[in-house]
Chains A and B, each alone.
Chain A
Amino acid sequence: MSGTGFDYECSSLSPEGRIFQVEYAEKAVETSSTILGVRCKNGIVLGTEKIVLSKMMVAGTDKRVFSITTTTGSVVNGLTPDGKSLVYRGREEAVQYEKMFGIKIPIQVLAERLAMRTQMNTIYNGIRPYGTSIILAGNDHIKGLGLYMIEPSGQCFEYYGCASGRGKQLARNEIEKVNFREMSVDEAIPLIAKILLKAQEEMKDKKQELEISIISDTTGYKHKILDRVFVDQLTLKAQEEIENEQMEMA
């Protein structure tokens, strides 16, 4: 499919109606770490797994979960610098919106604006699409809780549960199996940890880290990134459980 000259820039479609640059950007996302978000009974959980790149890297440096406003959280994958750039853009949008309208930016508006920004990057010459997927979670006074995912193409939907990255298929299946919508955030967190670990099964021998954040009634619908120690304990427990399950299966 490549080599026909249609893949150098995204200003023209291929005869089959594809934009190769966008597809390559999606490739960058598909080969990177799994991110997911699920809507629960009383909140939303965001999470990601990641391989610790170097033993000498200071823990907590490779961040993928960010706050955009106090009540909006996000998790990114793919090229994380691209994701960060989108997060910073989101912060600017949120501040600007609040200044203009005097209310917190509704999560849908924020998602839509970031999606339009992402889409912009797929049509202009001289810039490349974002090589990142971003999952947004927030709570606003108009629609309440909302979970959105934006992909490199600029595609943006609202979800009850969504995943992206290398373990996307597995994670989606697992999310569909469990009825998270009838579950509280606290109950969901260990399951999410398990799903994330399962999603990177083939990298098991490398050191892995999880990042999890929540928005729930217990946090006053504020975005809260769970602290390192707690998540590390969670990871260990989840790993044990997975091993036990496998032992039983065998």
Chain B
Amino acid sequence: MISGQPRTHTQVPVNIGTSVMGLRYKDGIMLAADTAVAYGSMKKTKHAQRMAAISSDTAIACSGEMSDFQELLKIFREKHDGDVIENDGALFLKPTDYFNYLSRVQYQRRMKGDPLWNGSIIGGVRQDSGDVFLGMVDLYGTKVEGNFLLTGLAAHYCQVLMQNSWRADLTEAEARAIIEDCMKVMFYRDKKASDEIQITTITKDQGVKIHDPYRIQGEWNFQFFHDKTNEFWRPIRIYNN
């Protein structure tokens, strides 16, 4: 850093998590992300968790800079715990409140010129009324709500896939199948994506449930690949001079 000059390294993302997805289904919300974190084009970690519960009925999944994701979680934890101890353990903020709060935090940071470089999807099901909420906030503080939401490259690759297969009455298994389908596409096309994915479900009965990560099976055994490889295949030659 040049002394006297403003700090700029926070304006470039370094450790990047790729796209996250979220969708409504019959019982609530399903959030999904893969577990890879990229450092440039190197996969720095293949087993990172990019989603978290921020209260008993709200969860967040983040793409983008992972240190900023951790900072966000810290901000949320402080807010949540502070509210809980001041209200004698009562659930205070609702999913929509956390959504609006996140949007203000992001907007504040963009005004500072030091944004939290994340695309975040927040999902929640209110425990009292059963209201289902799904929203997305970007690094400018833009709020978007929808039945299914995608950040990053998935917004390009999976939009149509989601559009065509989403229904309001999806069962958990169907929702999971859609997510896996999308994740497979991402794994094939996005160099920063991995085939290990993790899903969080939020339902009225069970609240936030972060499932264990698992691998989706990719299909590579196409004749096309064999042919292509064989075309360029040459025996190793050793030069002696």
Contact = CB atoms under 8 A, between A and B. Distances in A.
A–B contact (CB under 8 angstroms) = yes
Interface of A: 66-70, 91, 95, 223-225
Contact of B89 (A69, A91, A95, A225): A225
Nearest to B88: A225
A67 B88 contact: yes
B56 to A, nearest CB: 12
A70 B88 contact: no
Interface string B54-82: 00000000000000000000000010011
B2 interface: no
B173 interface: no
A67 B78 contact: no
Contacts of A91: 82, 85
A67 B81 CA distance: 10
A104 B88 CA distance: 19
A213 B14 CA distance: 46
A177 B81 CA distance: 38
Contacts of B78: 95
Among B78, B81, B82, chain A packs the most CB atoms within 10 A around the CB of B81
Contacts of A68: 85
A67 B87 CA distance: 9
Contacts of A69: 81, 85
Contacts, number: 20
20 contacts: A66-B85, A67-B84, A67-B85, A67-B86, A67-B88, A67-B89, A68-B85, A69-B81, A69-B85, A70-B81, A70-B84, A70-B85, A91-B82, A91-B85, A95-B78, A95-B82, A223-B85, A224-B89, A225-B88, A225-B89
- Chain A contact surface mostly: strand
Contacts of B88: 67, 225
Contacts of B84: 67, 70
Interface string B84-111: 1110110000000000000000000000
Contacts of A67: 84-86, 88-89
A225 B88 CA distance: 7
Contacts of A95: 78, 82
Nearest to A69: B85
Contacts of A66: 85
A69 B82 CA distance: 8
A63 to B, nearest CB: 8
A67 B80 CA distance: 14
Contacts of B86: 67
A224 B81 CA distance: 13
Given A91-B85, A95-B78, A223-B85, 6 more contacts: A67-B85, A67-B88, A67-B89, A70-B84, A70-B85, A224-B89
A68 B88 CA distance: 10
A85 to B, nearest CB: 15
A70 B78 CA distance: 11
Contacts of A224: 89
B17 to A, nearest CB: 22
A91 B87 CA distance: 13
Contacts of B85: 66-70, 91, 223
A225 B84 CA distance: 12
Contacts of B81: 69-70
Among A70, A95, A224, chain B packs the most CB atoms within 10 A around the CB of A70
A68 B81 CA distance: 10
A66 B89 CA distance: 10
B207 to A, nearest CB: 15
Contacts of A223: 85
A91 B85 CA distance: 9
